[in-house]
Structure 1
Amino acid sequence: MSVAKKEYKRITTKSLVDMKSRGEKISMLTAYDFTMAQIVDGAGIDVILVGDSASNVMAGHETTLPITLDQMIYHAASVVRAINRSLVVVDLPFGSYQSDAKEALRSAIRIMKESGGHAVKMEGGKEIKDSIKRILNAGIPVMGHLGLTPQSIYKFGTYTVRAKEETEAKQLKEDALLLEKLGCFAIVLEKVPAKLAEEVAKSVSIPVIGIGAGSGVDGQVLVIHDMLGMNTEFSPRFLRRYMDLHTEMTKALQQYSTDIKSGDFPNENEQY
């Protein structure tokens, strides 16, 4: 049964917990620049993730690993300047938090101070608990991320579904409970079996946002370039394309070139 959507002037970490308790689903999308963030915020999306996926869709890297903390701050600051309502969560990039809790705190503080973001997201469970604790103790909200963790792609060796085996599924459930206990305000579950994701969502009081994790979680997130059809190479099962923007943009650009070459653009009404 659908739940009536409550109007929030600003989305906060508390808003998301309230939404879960009310049974209201949470919408989340990535954005990396001012113009796109302004559109996403204006459309009423609850959470904007300034994802390290900027490494892929903005910079053309094969993985998320190359993007730097400075680059994440640049993208996040651009997004924050655009928003009025959405909660802005910023990925801590690879190498900025995994091995040293003090370095993790310094990284999170830089993101909060220099970008104006509202929270950070970190990949992993018990192996990064010290970093999470230190950041939370400083008053910085943390969103967890379990399942397929792209920053560990060379460890996994594949982008396939995670936690299909009992041992890994058990560890994922334990990590989700740990993240809640530590004080994370939400968890992203990426590319895990739908039944497992639903179990996890029911086992914790904080929101669980899925990407390739079925419908039994508390909300969904996609990369905006994927769901708008700007990126045509990426076609996983979990992706629903809401537009074919690649085709539409190509047509518009070709027409622009044609109009210039034919002398049609600019016409008399388009000049001074």
Structure 2
Amino acid sequence: MPTKQVRLADLQAKKRDRTPWAMLTAYDYSTARAFSQAGIEVLLVGDSAANVVYGYPSTQQVSLEEMCFLAAGVVRGAGNSFVIADLPFGTYEASDEAAVSSATEMLRRSGAHAVKIEGGQRMAPRIAALKQAGLVVCAHVGFTPQSVNTLSGFRVQGRGDSGAQALLSDVSAVVEAGADLVVLEMVPADVARQVTERFPIPTVGIGAGPHCDAQVLVWHDMVAFPQDGHRPRFAKQWAQVGADLVGAASAFKREVAEGSFPAEEHSF
């Protein structure tokens, strides 16, 4: 577990020192505690909760109310880890005022340290407004799941000269607007390397190769939970939690049916 509260300045120092750091999604108190105990520097309350917690078919359906409840639980379990909370689709796009209102409600209700919003040049005014309000902001460029329909599905962004230039322009815009960090999702590794070397803010890769300052994964992808879920190409599995959980539940059911649980040692 981090021995002191992780702060933005610590993440910026790691970039200067070229010390990679880790981010994982978290959606509840117990998981946040486990990841903090493992030393994970940053926890992301991602809108991927729409899929893995609430069972919605897309991230566009989760609400601010639902995200606030999850983020509050994560903060209570996060220990000294830095916590970033996603602003969900529809809560910040309409105006600077809407963005500031949603972000301040999220931080007030949850205690998270920062918010994340998706989009490059088009979201630069929102980032500037959030910074003017005194908030820590993580930008998110490349593949942006909330815009999956506009992007015609799950496609790598930044390929080819024109694609790379568009992505670099997006990053330049969010940096100029004041973003403190930037997530690069499904971006060619060489482009992510250019971004990491060219811009002063920490870069967090997800499907963006090994050259980013940090790496993030949805924790369900990291441990194969559920066991039959889809795994993106960029996600490695370090455990088989889905299979273990099914096995444990099956064993519980069998022993209850057989009458072997609870045994004498489990009774008063």
Cα distance in 2 for residues equivalent to 1:115 and 1:24 = 29
Letter in 1 for 2:249: L
Q: Does residue 24 of structure 2 align to residue 20 of structure 1?
A: no
Cα distance in 1 for residues equivalent to 2:51 and 2:167 = 26
- Give the deviation of 1:177 after TM superposition: 1.9
Number of residues of Structure 1 aligned to a counterpart in Structure 2: 266
Does the Cα contact within 8 Å between 1:132 and 1:182 map onto a contact in 2? yes
Does the Cα contact within 8 Å between 2:186 and 2:208 map onto a contact in 1? yes
Say which SS state the counterpart of residue 159 (structure 2) adopts.
coil
Structure 2 match to 1:128: 123
Does the Cα contact within 8 Å between 1:44 and 1:85 map onto a contact in 2? no
Q: Does residue 247 of structure 2 align to residue 251 of structure 1?
A: yes
Q: Does residue 259 of structure 2 align to residue 268 of structure 1?
A: no
Matches within 5 A, 1:146-185: 146-185=141-180
Structure 2 match to 1:229: 224
Matches within 5 A, 1:1-272: 9-231=4-226, 232-272=228-268
Say which SS state the counterpart of residue 77 (structure 1) adopts.
helix
| Superposed CA offset, 1:79-113 (max 9, x none) | 01112111000001001111211000000010111
Cα distance in 1 for residues equivalent to 2:147 and 2:225 = 26
Say which SS state the counterpart of residue 136 (structure 1) adopts.
helix
Does the Cα contact within 8 Å between 2:123 and 2:174 map onto a contact in 1? no
- The unaligned stretches of length 5 or more in structure 2 are none
Cα distance in 1 for residues equivalent to 2:18 and 2:217 = 20
Letter in 2 for 1:266: P
Q: Percent identity?
A: 36
Does the Cα contact within 8 Å between 2:116 and 2:140 map onto a contact in 1? yes
Cα distance in 1 for residues equivalent to 2:92 and 2:186 = 23
Deviating beyond 4 angstroms after TM superposition, the runs of 4 or more aligned structure 1 residues are none
- Give the deviation of 1:181 after TM superposition: 2.1
Cα distance in 2 for residues equivalent to 1:185 and 1:127 = 17
Does the Cα contact within 8 Å between 1:177 and 1:203 map onto a contact in 2? no
CA separation of 1:40 and 1:254: change in aligned 2, threshold 3 A:
same
| Superposed CA offset, 1:172-218 (max 9, x none) | 11221222222211100000101101111101111100000000111
Cα distance in 1 for residues equivalent to 2:256 and 2:150 = 51
Letter in 2 for 1:57: V
Does the Cα contact within 8 Å between 2:43 and 2:81 map onto a contact in 1? yes
Cα distance in 2 for residues equivalent to 1:200 and 1:145 = 13
| Superposed CA offset, 1:30-77 (max 9, x none) | 000111111111111010000000000001111100000111101100
- Give the deviation of 1:168 after TM superposition: 2.4
Letter in 2 for 1:260: V
- The unaligned stretches of length 5 or more in structure 1 are 1-6
Say which SS state the counterpart of residue 58 (structure 2) adopts.
coil
RMSD, matched Cα: 1.0
TM-score (norm. length: structure 1): 0.95
Please, which moves more after superposition, 13-22 or 227-236?
A: 227-236
Say which SS state the counterpart of residue 195 (structure 2) adopts.
helix
